[in-house]
Structure 1
């Protein structure tokens, strides 16, 4: 729907409106944060949706806020490049600081829901903008090395000292279990049921799948983060591999087009 609506606006109009769209999206996240359970009831331990009682309606503000973030980051980078035609290390660091601050504002409220997955999507969006913005590769390289070091250290703590990592890293037990399940699929915890059943559904599709229809392998919330397992069950290895290939083509075209702008 938004893609269709955007076709009616030119780039200058979107650029002028980007700040207001961004501010509005952050305000909606704040409203969600302070809303009572009658408007925004927590589901699976996360208060991420507006779901007024009595209405067949569920809205996740973080999804709309992504649009505001993308539009405003585009404007910030464009304005910065117009102001600093000949970029320097100092100007690139300034631009990087702007990108980080603008991204952290919505993340601060999304993390309180808590919604770690959406927060990581925002980090990924910001990372793509840093990559496409033309910031000096020395700065990007430093960020990559620092990020890999921090993530590697956190993973080492979780794998080596799972009991201690909950206090040191401030993670919930289910987040620790997901990391352990990733490195050791045989790791047993209360969080393995969904993971085990989704793998069973994915593998049950074999080469060509079972076709469209109700899933024969039950696992909760199949429509959410585990939708790929449903694709694998319905269309098999061929169908699921095609989905990965289409995503690769989409990302490749987005990156190459972005570098031309």
Structure 2
């Protein structure tokens, strides 16, 4: 198997497998509540299926689109998401106390999801044409300011989870770019300090954080969601209650089809199903970082690492929150949770990652073919020189061995 083909196939199989698995779990988590509420148990499945088809088309298109062409467009993309994040704060009405979505008929779009991919492209484009930043001032111009502006606007929506995912992605890009560890430690300390301040200054975040430390202290209040997720996962045992047989999703577990869908997986499919989900994201991380390591293009290397960190970092944050080892942040599980914007953006990002793998195979093939062509041309030229020289030498030999005429009077 050629270099890059294994990684590409793993990425495709894992991504499509998780999307298909997500459709099944979304239907399982929403069919009962949708039937009781709107009388249509297929409502959430149909919407998520349409988003999945649109995302699959984006994946195919971007896997065939040269990712280098996205590099000059990255500043415009960041500017566009900045305008969208401001507009969603000013124009839209709050939904559950948050300004996060543009509603256009039955379609809802979340600008913060698109902001993650735009910032990833911009940071990779800037760091690809410069040496790694050595000081905080070099880092801030312009990558740091872009992250601060986008992250600040997302935090105002409010959406701390997306801001944390954004920070994790940028940290991975800086690490691969060769940023000194002392600067990474400084940036991490500043980011953690800003996160602590954001938690402490917002009462609901502070309550959520303190309830994480001991959710059983208030199991019917601040710790309700965490407690119900633990009950669901614990009741699944090894093999689970059976697909569609869980009861936590019916008016017990809040946001069962979005942030807490992994708890539904644990209850219905048990330890086996839960472990397979973790294994799938582990395989995605292996393949994605292998693509980054093999890439000879600095922009492609940074972009592959950033996309892989975005997908797997978001998955790690979601799993940690559902399992109760991290505070709840509202981050969906990639490819599995219900959410159109997240699914569209992540499938588009996987398409770019596949294109990086394809481009690397093309470069390696061209290098090998060029080397073979050079060797073949040198050999043919040597043969041609030898073929031209041989008759000349033979003529010289015949000329030297030809008998000379001797004069009669000699």
* TM-score, normalised via structure 1 length: 0.79
Match of 1:61 among 94, 98, 111: 111
Q: 1:193 to 1:138 in 2, by over 3 A?
A: closer
| Alpha-carbon distance, 1:194 to partner | 1.7
Unaligned runs of 5+ in 2: 1-54, 295-300, 302-410
Distance in 2 between the 1:115 and 1:89 partners?
Answer: 31
SS in structure 2 at match of 1:80: coil
Is the aligned partner of 1:10 residue 2:47? no
Over the residues paired in the alignment, what is the CA RMSD in angstroms? 2.7
**TM-score under structure 2 length normalisation:** 0.52
Match of 2:277 among 236, 243, 248: 243
- Could you report, residue by residue, the CA deviation over 1:46-79 in whole angstroms, capped at 9, with x for unpaired residues? 1111124xx2222111111211111111111112
In structure 2, do the counterparts of structure 1 residues 119 and 32 end up closer, same or farther at CA, with 3 Å as the change threshold? same
Deviation string, structure 1 residues 18-65 (Cα, Å, up to 9, x no partner): 222222122211221111xxxx3322211111124xx22221111112
Deviation at 1:97, TM superposition (A): 4.6
In the other structure, the counterpart of 2:134 is 89
2:241 counterpart (183, 204, 210): 210
**Residue of structure 1 in register with 2:355 after alignment:** none
**Gap regions ≥5 residues in structure 1:** 82-86, 156-164
1:170-208: per-residue Cα shift (whole Å, max 9, x none)?
122x32222222222322172222222121112221111
Distance in 1 of aligned mates of 2:160 and 2:76: 26
Could you list the per-position Cα deviations for residues 145-193 of structure 1 after superposition, in whole angstroms to 9, with x for gaps in the alignment? 6666x489x59xxxxxxxxx98xx3122x32222222222322172222
Partner of 1:77: 127
Q: Counterparts of 2:191 and 2:290 in 1: how far apart (Å)?
A: 24
The match for 1:30 among 67, 86, 95 is 86
Tell me the residue number matched to 2:262. 228
Matches within 5 A, 1:160-175: 169-172=200-203, 174-175=204-205
In 1, the alpha carbon distance for the partners of 2:223 and 2:238 equals 25
1:178 corresponds to:
208
Q: How many residues in Structure 1 have an aligned counterpart in Structure 2? A: 235
Give the deviation of 1:259 after TM superposition: 4.2
Q: Which moved more, 1:174-183 or 1:55-64?
A: 174-183
Higher helix content, 1 or 2: 2
Larger relative contact order, structure 1 or 2 (CA cutoff 8 Å, min sep 6): 2
1:132-211 map, 5 Å: 132-144=176-188, 150=193, 154=196, 169-172=200-203, 174-188=204-218, 190-211=221-242
